[in-house]
Amino acid sequence: MDTTQLLKGVLDVAVLAVVAQEDGYGYDVVRRLRAAGLEDVGDASVYGTLRRLYAGGSLTSYVVPSDEGPHRKYYGITPLGRQELGEQRQTWAAFADTMSGLLAGSTGNTVPLERRRRTGSEGTR
């Protein structure tokens, strides 16, 4: 449902990854992200992220006038951006691993009753 919160801190890597594959302009990056599976990503979020990454030195940018439509602000990844991407990917991998471990403990419904705590259930005191 609310995949929105899951994007926090991940949009950066996602955008970096997409741009690293090939330079792209905002509108295009949005499409590519959605095509990649992040279907609910908002365009404003992507534009904002691009600007932030650019401001942080992870991306460069150049404007290309379009024949059919408004100009396009292309973004390309910088060495710093590539480095960031590398680190972030690792951070993500570790994090995802941790989470998978955590979530593996409870299969949603099947719970090893053996270790059930006697749940005191003391009355309210």
Q: Distance between CA atoms of 14 and 10, rounded to whole angstroms?
A: 6
The DSSP result for 23-55, as a single string, is -EEHHHHHHHHHHHT-TT--HHHHHHHHHHHHH
Helix ranges, the chain (H): 3-6, 11-21, 26-36, 43-55, 79-104
Residue 99 interacts with a second copy (CB under 8 A)? yes
Interacting residues with DNA (CB under 7 A): 2-5, 7-12, 25-28, 40-52, 66-74, 121, 123-125
Q: Which is nearer to a second copy, 38 or 50 (CB)?
A: 38
Q: Which is nearer to DNA, 81 or 110 (CB)?
A: 81
What are the tokens at 1?
Answer: 């449902």
Neighbours of 8 (CB within 10 A): 8
Residues within window 31-70 making contact with a second copy, judged by CB under 8 A = 31, 33, 36-38, 62-65, 68
Residue 86 interacts with a second copy (CB under 8 A)? yes
What is the binding site for a second copy (CB under 8 A)? 1-6, 8-10, 13-14, 16-18, 20-25, 28, 31, 33, 36-38, 62-65, 68, 71, 74, 76, 82, 85-89, 91-92, 95-103, 105-106, 108-109, 111, 115-125
